[in-house]
Amino acid sequence: MELEHKFCRLGDTVNVSDGTVIEGYASLFDRKDQGGDVVAKGAYATSLKTMKSGIKMLWQHDPAQPIGVWDEVREDSKGLWVKGRILTDVAKGRDVAALIAAGAIDGLSIGYRAVKAAKNDKGGRLLSELELWEVSLVTFPMLPDARVAGKGDDPAEITMRELAAVFTEARNAMITR
């Protein structure tokens, strides 16, 4: 079984507190990622029932480098919400916490297997059921809005970036019609 990953440019949906607690969205519904794929609402439901607490927190999708634990992983109306802890008792966990604090790393990415997916006419897919295996901290997440926000990020600035992203997405949609 080959796992797929979503990683590319960055957005603003995840917060870090105390340098180690991460919480926010690892995946957003109905948003096209850099590969042209869209995750449908409910795509993780079956997997979350089956996997329960088995979703791993990895560094750059490397199964040899677990860096923490996800205490909560759930779907809501917006997407896949996660909350977990980077383990600083692990050397790589300390490194990751330092990289996040410095602003060098701020991405989240999912590792999954597509159970049900339909191709669209532009080469992308509508992912309607996914088997979620892990959520990684990465340099480049595939979904532009899957990133870790630093302690000093101004919430008003984040909101303006989100609004700008909505306008950019709408403009791009109009251009491609």
Q: Where in the chain are the domains? A: 4-149
Q: Which two tokens stand for residue 107?
A: 């991405």
Tens digits of per-residue pLDDT, 27-41?
989 998 888 899 999
Please tell me the distance from the alpha carbon of residue 127 to that of residue 117, in angstroms, as a whole number: 4
pLDDT at 120: 83
Q: C-alpha distances in angstroms, 34 versus 134, 142, 143? A: 19, 6, 6
Please tell me the distance from the alpha carbon of residue 8 to that of residue 136, in angstroms, as a whole number: 13
Higher-scoring residue by pLDDT: 156, 142: 142
**Strand intervals (E) in 7-97:** 14-17, 21-28, 38-39, 56-59, 62-75, 79-86
| For residue 150, pLDDT beyond 80 | no
